Amino acid sequence: MNFSTHLIGFDASLWGWLSLCVLLVVGGLTAPWPAVIASAARQNVLLASWLFLILLGAFHGNALPGLSLHFLGLTAVTLILGWPLALLGGALAAFVFAALSHEGFAAIGFAVWGQVVVPIAITVGINYLAQRFLPPNFFIYLFVNVFFAAVLGFVFAALATAGLVVMLGVYSWPVLVDSYLAFIPIQVIPEAMVNSMVMLGLTLLKPEWVASFDSRRYFKD
């Protein structure tokens, strides 16, 4: 979501920026910086995960001017890093994408809320419920915690983004349904597959890199 100030208004842009600043402060204060600083492996995983989000954002298609569709990858990154670092990485990717666009940073606060906060929140919620109520089965983890969470995260991120665009008065709901939301069925399964492949590789090869995965829980003798 990259709209200039003359499309959304200065007041709306200001509120978006203020809410984004609150998010970044919360994420920065909650993130496990001591653990990251103490481990070179964690630092590498952090930088690789953030670069992964930036690269995914670079491969996008414009559904409407200022509104694009691209892979999110936030389910995998949230399960790997935890939500605070995933939030900071998602915001960083949004900043990079905005810097490369021609419209600037006016709507970046709303972009982060719709396309970063929503999928992260859904992933955290599903992961919590699955670990609490479902048996510790590796395939359940991949299908529910990863694949299903990525599907719901992508769908609700698109719906939240569309709702924010309508609230800002940039496009009407019928226009978004025809030119933006209509592409959800085409992209949602590839989004889930990208997240699932990343998590499958990491949980099998480097499970200690995945914050949400306990190999003793899922790989019992």
Q: How far apart are CA 162 and CA 156, in angstroms?
A: 10
For 139-178, letters b (16+ CB in 10 Å) and e give eebbebbbbbbbbbbbbebbebbbebbeebebbeeebbee
* Predicted TM-score (pTM) of this structure: 0.93
pLDDT score for 158? 92
Task: Give residue 10's pLDDT band: very low, low, confident or very high (50, 70, 90).
Answer: confident
In tens, the pLDDT along 38-73 reads: 999 999 999 999 999 998 877 766 777 777 788 899
Q: Over 80: is that where the pLDDT of 181 sits?
A: yes
Number of domains in the chain: 1
In tens, the pLDDT along 133-177 reads: 999 889 999 999 999 999 999 999 999 999 988 888 888 899 888
pLDDT score for 13? 85
Task: Give residue 3's pLDDT band: very low, low, confident or very high (50, 70, 90).
Answer: low
Q: How far apart are CA 45 and CA 95, in angstroms?
A: 20
pLDDT score for 105? 80
Spatial neighbors of 123 by CB under 8 A, at least 6 apart, are 74, 75, 78, 79, 83, 145, 149, 150, 153
Range of the domain at 124: 5-218
* Nearest C-alpha neighbor of 122 from the set 139, 97, 93, 147: 147
Q: Are 180 and 63 in contact (CB under 8 A)?
A: yes
Instruction: Return the higher-pLDDT residue of 217 and 32.
Output: 32
List the CATH number of the domain containing 152: 1.10.1760.20
Tell me how crowded residue 102 is: count the other CB atoms within 10 A of its CB.
Answer: 8
What the block records as the tokens of 177 is 């349904």
Q: Over 90: is that where the pLDDT of 33 sits?
A: yes
pLDDT score for 7? 65
Q: Over 60: is that where the pLDDT of 4 sits?
A: no
